[in-house]
Structure 1
Amino acid sequence: MGRSCDLLFALAVFILLIHVHTYVSTVPNISNDEAALLAFKSHISYSPNNILATNWSSSSPVCTWIGITCNSRNHRVKTLDIYSMQLHGTIPPHLGNLSFLVSLDISDNTFYGELPEELAHLQRLKLINVTSNNFTGVIPSFLSLLPNLRIVLLSDNQFFGEVPSSLSNITKLQVLGIKGNFLVGEIPRELGDLRYMTFLYL
């Protein structure tokens, strides 16, 4: 009887260790953030003085990289702030893996192409600033899937089409900047339902 209990206990511990190992190996961590940022760096075709090329490196901790701030509690990337660095390139879908990102500011560079739909995974995002780049396409519909957004700055790009009424789904939105694009049509009536809106730049 005693031996059977010991075997059952050992089996239970073994199963528990497998579950713990599986959980730890699948839960995103700073390594996921590092991989996402290195993928982003690989899509930058021009960087004066190679600032990111020399600083964003696996040989140094992610939280010490230029433009990166990490959460002090869980040491995950909280802000990506690389405005006015004369960077040229595109935004890869990997950026959507920065699951703890709160602020994304890549303004005043020359990024181009469309913003990837994978940015919809950034559910903690409160600020997105892509002002003064060369982004194209319609205003991304995935913005309406980011419930914590407070500030959306898309001005001075090459976005075209109509202003989507789905922006009214961002119920906490306070600032919306979409001036300096190629937008047409009417201002959606639904934007008037945004009770926290303070600034609307058209």
Structure 2
Amino acid sequence: MHTTMETIIYHFPFGLLLLCILSASIAISATNITTDQFALLSLRAQITTTDPHHILAKNWSSGSSICEWIGVTCGSRHRRVIGLNISNMGLTGIIPPQLGNLSFLVSLDVSTNNFHGEVPHEFAGLHRLRVLNLDVNNLEGYFPPWIDSFHELQYLTLRNNSFTGPILPSISNMSKLVTLRLSNNTLQGNIPKELFNISSLEIIDLKGNSLSGSIPDSVCDRLGSLIELDLSFNQLNGHIPSSLGECSQLQMLSLSGNHFISGYIPKELGNLKMLHSLDLAGNRLEGAIPKGIGNATMLKSLNFDYNNITGNCTSPFGLV
């Protein structure tokens, strides 16, 4: 009897511990699922009255699993929301702060809708995010200062909105970024040189903003994978860096519609053997077209219009 009692006393705390852990695990799981559901229903509440096809109003129902809702992808193991794609649905409304509680979210695409207002700062908690696409909406406010918390982000595109303010140097904290598209906003200030320290970048598209200052001379020091650089239709000045000729993988370069009122076309651009498109139109560049440009034998599109340059350039493809 004594031995049996000792056994019960010895094992009871361990069994109780297992029971507590199991109960806590179930509670946390339920809470997390509920949190994801609440976040999505908060989004639906902002847009159901202007959901032209009633897609979310009919499909996003608390009577079914959120993993079966249109546009929602859940992870196979933990059954948390990892993807949300409600692009091209004609939705109007604001993005609620509760969306920042989707802590397992990897990809978010709300592009080509009519969302307005600011992006909630609660998004800073989406540490797993790799894809963020807010293209073609009516979003406004300063370029989010908390966006540098997305250390896993690879694809960031905010085109065709009304974001303003500067691009902060801390953008370099997104060290895994591959694609950056911020075109057609009203961003201001200099392009931070820290941006060009993100060695993984393949696409930089800052077209159609109000960015000023000069292009850093060290633009290609770490961008060995850069294939597209579009800085057109801004207010950039100074000279075009000859170091651009060191971006060996560059296929598209557009600097048109700026204020390069002094300087010339660097002959080093002829070193870009992969270059397909070169657009320097609408500046005030001077001097002759460098003969070395003809060495860029892959060129298919070349535009030097509206400058003060002389001469011509013929490539093996007959471009003049």
Normalised TM-score (structure 2): 0.60
CA distance in 1, matches of 2:14, 2:80: 33
CA contact (8 A) 2:143 2:187 kept: no
1:134-155: per-residue Cα shift (whole Å, max 9, x none)? 1111111221001110011011
Aligned-partner Cα distance in 1 for 2:38–2:65: 12
RMSD: 1.5
Secondary structure (helix, strand or coil) at the match of 2:152 reads coil
Residue matched to 1:20: 22
Which one of the candidate residues 141, 145, 149 is aligned to 2:153?
149
Report the equivalent of 1:41: 44
Structure 2: how far apart are the matches of 1:121 and 1:40?
Answer: 17
Q: Could you tell me how far 1:32 is from its partner in structure 2?
A: 2.4
Quick one: percent identity of the two aligned structures?
41
- How many Å apart are 1:81 and its aligned residue? 0.5
Counterpart Cα distance in 2 of 1:119 and 1:24: 26
Instruction: Provide the C-alpha distance between the structure 2 equivalents of 1:24 and 1:153, rounded to a whole number of angstroms.
Output: 37
Range with bigger deviation, 163-172 or 1-10: 1-10
Q: Which amino acid aligns with 2:179?
A: V
Name 2:136's counterpart in structure 1.
Answer: 132
1:196 matched residue in structure 2: 200
State how many pairs are aligned: 202
Structure 2 CA distance, aligned partners of 1:11 and 1:178? 58
Question: What is the Cα deviation at residue 117 of structure 1?
Answer: 1.4
Structure 2 CA distance for partners of 1:157 and 1:39, relative to 1, 3 Å: same
1:171 partner SS: coil
Task: Report which stretch shifted further, 187-196 or 20-29.
Answer: 20-29
Q: Which runs of 5+ in 2 are unaligned?
A: 207-320
Q: Which has the higher helix share?
A: 1
Quote the Cα distance in structure 2 between the aligned partners of 1:190 and 1:77: 33
Structure 1 length-normalised TM: 0.93
Structure 1 segment 98-137 matched on structure 2, within 5 A: 98-137=102-141
What amino acid maps onto 2:41 in structure 1? L
For residues 10 and 121 of structure 2, what CA distance do their matches in structure 1 show? 48
1:42-88: CA deviation from partner (whole Å, max 9, x where unpaired): 12241102110110001122111111122223222121011110101
Please identify runs of 4+ aligned residues in structure 1 that moved more than 4 A. Answer: none
Aligned-residue offset at 1:118: 1.3
- Structure with the bigger RCO (C-alpha within 8 Å, sep 6+) is 1
